[in-house]
């Protein structure tokens, strides 16, 4: 357990926000749980291929002072040509001057969590969707609860324009730990689109982002979330997104990972009431020495729900990809439809992919399917393109874009889609993002 000593000191020194104070007992308990478990190691089945010893051994600390990052510095992270609502968090702290939340219908909140700590939805759901049994990394995040985004859309309100939440880890001063804690609640019949993007400034020190996002979709609600991981090659990113869906609600989540040294995206969806639909899409472009691990769990707890999952990966150079997709269909969850597919392309001999679908089905009247493929680029197609005068690199980019593009095409907001297409193409050409 020696690995947690760094973090014990850090925990004791941490003062946080008013929210941190309110949650002191919860935080203390969470830290106790974390200390008892320690960081996961590769001996843990769930972390078999993802070694985070560097995170455990690192001297990462939170930054509590408000930073002096300028608007110009975050400009490249914004969606050019749009003026959508945005909340900017630098090293976990909300920065008003960089944010831009426009007028909203009554009751809608796009704000910081600490300011809304007495909101009934915060009291009800925070640390309840991702709770005690969500693993050591969630415990560590809970121990450092201080700030994050709170998105709340009351009953029957539809917001057309997405809200962009930017999380920037500035590691210029020291190796930085950031523990954003977000809560998104769409009440009955509400609709909202959310973009979470993660970025970094500075490459001298490592950054460690340990993010937790809790999502609740009430009856008939639709919540569309796109998570974009763009922290740089000095970044360790561990994210946990947990959603609970109530009857007839829809949850769309697209997880795009284009950068980072070690990235672990956990996604747990609980289909808690009937006639819910969940769409899980993922894309990872991995090269250099990157490791990207996507772990998902869809829990069909009740009958008549549907889940659709498609993850695609392109792995180049010495990149490593990991996919683990669990689907649980509980005994009572008859008439479940659950589909899962994971497709990968390895572009080099050193690239690797570990993929594991895990379906545990206890009901008998269900439609479930899963498939995984890992292969090389289609040589016939490549030759065909080249025989028309298209250079080899360009031809490969064509094929990779076609392969991965259909995941990006699922994203509803066009400026985001275009931006990600462009960045993916850069990544495939091994350019810096």
Partner 1 sequence: MLTIKNLHARIEEKEILRGLSLDIKPGEVHAIMGPNGSGKSTLASVLAGREDYEVTDGTISFNNEDLLEMSPEDRARKGLFLAFQYPVEIPGVSNANFLKTAVNEIRKSRGQEAMDSKDFLAMMKEKMKLVEMDKAMTQRSVNEGFSGGEKKRNEVFQMAMLEPSLCVLDETDSGLDIDALRIVANGVNALRDKNRSFVVITHYQRLLDYIVPDVVHVLYKGRIVKTGTKELALELEEKGYDWIKEEVESAAI
* Contact positions vs partner 1 (CB under 8 A): 378, 380-381, 383-392, 394-395, 398-399, 401-403, 405-406
Q: Which is nearer to partner 1, 15 or 387 (CB)?
A: 387
Q: How many Å apart are CA 215 and CA 300, to the nearest integer? A: 16
Q: Which is nearer to partner 1, 138 or 428 (CB)?
A: 428
Q: Which is nearer to partner 1, 407 or 423 (CB)?
A: 407
Nearest to 46 by CA among 413, 323, 336: 323
Tokens of 329: 């269909």
* H or E stretch at 13: helix 5-13
Nearest to 333 by CA among 299, 359, 371, 358: 299
Give the nearest distance from C-beta 399 to partner 1 in angstroms: 7
Give the nearest distance from C-beta 293 to partner 1 in angstroms: 26
Q: How many Å apart are CA 374 and CA 372, to the nearest integer? A: 7
Written as one string, the DSSP assignment of 85-119 is EEEEEETTEE-GGG-B-----TT-EEEETGGGTTS
Give the nearest distance from C-beta 405 to partner 1 in angstroms: 6
Backbone CA torsion sign across 243, 246, 247, 251: negative
Give the nearest distance from C-beta 282 to partner 1 in angstroms: 17
Q: How many Å apart are CA 258 and CA 229, to the nearest integer? A: 6
Give the nearest distance from C-beta 256 to partner 1 in angstroms: 17
Give the nearest distance from C-beta 391 to partner 1 in angstroms: 5
Q: Which is nearer to partner 1, 43 or 388 (CB)?
A: 388
Where do the H-state alpha helices sit in 126-174? 136-143
Residue with the two structure tokens 């829809």: 250
Q: Helices 392-408 and 414-428, interaxial angle, to 10°?
A: 150
Q: Which is nearer to partner 1, 296 or 342 (CB)?
A: 342
Give the nearest distance from C-beta 292 to partner 1 in angstroms: 22
Q: Which is nearer to partner 1, 47 or 403 (CB)?
A: 403
Q: Which is nearer to partner 1, 242 or 404 (CB)?
A: 404
Q: How many Å apart are CA 183 and CA 21, to the nearest integer? A: 18
Give the nearest distance from C-beta 311 to partner 1 in angstroms: 17
Q: How many Å apart are CA 432 and CA 253, to the nearest integer? A: 26
Q: How many Å apart are CA 163 and CA 161, to the nearest integer? A: 7
Q: Which is nearer to partner 1, 322 or 399 (CB)?
A: 399
Distance of CA 300 to the CA centre of its chain: 21
How is residue 409 annotated by DSSP?
T
Give the nearest distance from C-beta 398 to partner 1 in angstroms: 5
Q: Which is nearer to partner 1, 83 or 409 (CB)?
A: 409
CA atoms within 13 A on the CB side of 378: 12
Residue 240 in contact with residue 214, Cβ under 8 Å? no
């Amino acid at each position: 357990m020696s690995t947690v000593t760094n973090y014990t000191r850090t925990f004791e020194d941490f003062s946080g926000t008013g929210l941190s104070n309110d949650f002191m007992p919860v935080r203390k308990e969470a830290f106790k749980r974390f200390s008892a478990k320690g960081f996961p190691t590769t001996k843990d089945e769930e972390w078999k291929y993802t070694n985070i010893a560097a995170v455990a051994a690192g001297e990462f600390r939170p930054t509590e002072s408000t930073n002096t990052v300028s608007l110009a510095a975050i400009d490249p992270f914004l969606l050019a040509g749009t003026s959508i609502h945005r909340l900017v968090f630098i090293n976990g702290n909300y920065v008003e001057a960089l944010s831009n939340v426009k007028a909203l219908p009554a009751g809608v909140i796009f704000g910081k969590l600490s300011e809304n700590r007495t909101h009934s939805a915060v009291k009800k759901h925070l640390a309840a969707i991702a709770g005690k049994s969500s693993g050591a990394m969630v415990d560590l995040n809970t121990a450092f609860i201080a700030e994050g985004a709170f998105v709340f859309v009351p009953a029957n309100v539809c917001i057309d324009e997405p809200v962009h939440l930017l999380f920037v880890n500035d590691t210029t001063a020291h190796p930085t730990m950031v523990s954003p804690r977000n809560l998104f609640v769409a009440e009955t019949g509400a609709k909202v689109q959310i973009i979470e993007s993660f970025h970094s400034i500075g490459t001298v020190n490592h950054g460690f982002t340990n993010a937790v996002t809790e999502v609740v979709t009430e009856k008939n609600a639709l919540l569309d979330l796109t998570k974009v991981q763009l922290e740089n090659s000095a970044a360790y990113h561990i994210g946990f997104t947990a959603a609970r869906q109530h009857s007839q609600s829809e949850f769309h989540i697209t997880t795009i990972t284009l950068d980072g040294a070690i990235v672990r995206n956990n996604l747990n969806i609980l289909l808690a009431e009937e006639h819910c639909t969940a769409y899980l899409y993922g894309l990872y472009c991995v090269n250099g020495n990157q490791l990207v691990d996507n772990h998902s769990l869809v829990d069909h707890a009740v009958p008549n729900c549907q889940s659709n999952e498609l993850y695609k990966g392109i792995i180049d150079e010495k990149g490593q990809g990991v996919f683990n997709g669990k689907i649980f269909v509980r005994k009572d969850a008859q008439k479940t439809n659950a589909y899962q597919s994971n497709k990968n392309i390895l572009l080099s001999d050193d690239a690797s992919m570990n993929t594991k679908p895990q379906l545990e089905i206890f009901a008998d009247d269900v439609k479930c399917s899963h498939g995984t493929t890992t292969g090389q680029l289609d040589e016939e197609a490549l030759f065909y393109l080249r025989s028309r005068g298209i250079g080899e690199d360009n031809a490969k980019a064509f094929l990779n874009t076609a392969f991965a593009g259909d995941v990006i095409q699922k994203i509803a907001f066009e400026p985001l889609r275009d931006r990600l297409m462009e960045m993916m193409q850069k990544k495939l050409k091994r350019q810096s993002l």
